[in-house]
Amino acid sequence: MPPVRRLVVEADGGSRGNPGPAGYGAVVIDPATGETLAEAAEYIGVATNNVAEYRGLIAGLEAAKALFPDASDGSFQVRVRMDSKLVVEQMSGRWKIKHPDMKPLAARAAAVLPPALVTYEWIPRAQNKHADRLANEAMDAGRRGEQWEPSSSTADLDTPRGGLPPVQGPPGDAAAGAAKARAALAGARAAAPAHTQAPAAPTGTRAAPASAPAPQVGWGAAPDLGAPATFVLLRHGETALTPEKRFSGSGGTDPQLSATGRDQAARAAEHFVARGTVQAIVSSPLRRCRETAEAVAARLGLDVTVEDGLRETDFGAWEGLTFAEVRERHGEDLTTWLASPDAAPTGGGESFAEVAERVSAARDRLVSRYAGRTVLLVTHVTPIKTLVRLALEAPPQSMFRMELSAASISTVAYYADGNASVRVLNDTSHLR
């Protein structure tokens, strides 16, 4: 019986605009030695992050298959490593594929190799730099009106990896798995020589060159990326449930602002009038947020746009209960929920993983819509903490270590290269 041939595929994809100019990158690796066996990258025109990520997966699987076309089912295994939780969870069969654009791509990926031969693993973006760089090279080529060429790549293919590291850390989010255009790497690409190509590489791929220069890293190399899309995140004012610290999500009574909450909304409005920086207002559909947003909008002379993706978590049977009451009635479920972002509250609520998928999709839509502008997002504790967590690339457990007071202000800026910067967290100075 022939020995089992094991390969690792690392893949990534990204969109500069989401949707916007998009590309993917994929690399095939020998897991025993860390040797790069093949690469693939392509500029695919205007697409979303998720589409580009799936295209990268397909290209990586096809490159792996092309390396060993005669391998039998029993002698061939592929381990896919990606920083897109969406793709990993959907291809592993743990998440349903709901978006119509994703279904044919997932089917195409599943058809490249028998599903029994392929396993999927989430990795942090920092461990997916090779595929990330290829995706950015493809997007850079598209910006020049060209397609990616193997001879122009500067990805480090000859660095010994000494085998691949085990999975570390909790799962990430879908949209943040997109390839990011790194300013420092762009500088390195411009200065780097082309690599010598090895013969007989599969179509659209290349083999490892003799050497590759180390990328230039540092703030000094960053180009002018223009004004970011700046999200000013305002938590709604108090309701009758807020001071009692009761679970109040999107599956409960949808309470209105209390007298204290209306005063907080008025103070927030005065603050934004004085600042004069807000150019648009977007609100969760829940009443407490719409009332807070409308108080600000009335002073600024702006309209309020409702974004359903900004609604609070559905806490299921926990709605209206205190933490202590949930502990008494649903103790086992609460313990599981605190330990895992994939656990949902009792009675069909939403898990933090589901909320993160929804919020990150809303984020991407809004970043594209309000590029270069400052927009006030009036929303809830979980969406705000999720946006901050994703911007920091922090684990889900970090959400339990953030304080967000009623009517507090947090700020996150999103730049054209896909990076984010947390500028403010839980500012309540306007309420004093």
Catalytic center residues: 236, 312
CB 417 within 8 A of CB 225: yes
CA distances from 323 to 98, 246, 269, 338, 381 (A): 33, 7, 32, 12, 15
Give CA–CA dist 239/259, Å, rounded. Answer: 8
Give CA–CA dist 196/360, Å, rounded. Answer: 40
CA distances from 252 to 239, 241, 246, 255 (A): 13, 11, 11, 8
Give CA–CA dist 198/358, Å, rounded. Answer: 44
Tokens of 171: 């799962």
Residue closest to 265 by CA, chosen among 283, 245, 285: 283
* 129-143 and 49-67 helices, crossing angle to 10°: 110
Tokens 């809303």 map to which residue?
362
CB 197 within 8 A of CB 205: no
CB 238 within 8 A of CB 406: yes
Give CA–CA dist 281/231, Å, rounded. Answer: 10
Residue closest to 54 by CA, chosen among 21, 17, 16, 80: 80
CA distances from 409 to 295, 349, 427 (A): 15, 27, 5
Give CA–CA dist 173/196, Å, rounded. Answer: 37
136 three-class SS: helix
DSSP per-residue letters across 34-62 = --EEEEEEEEEEEE-HHHHHHHHHHHHHH
In this structure, which amino acid lies at residue 203?
T
198 three-class SS: coil
Q: DSSP letter for 232, please.
A: E
Residue closest to 185 by CA, chosen among 149, 152, 221, 211: 221
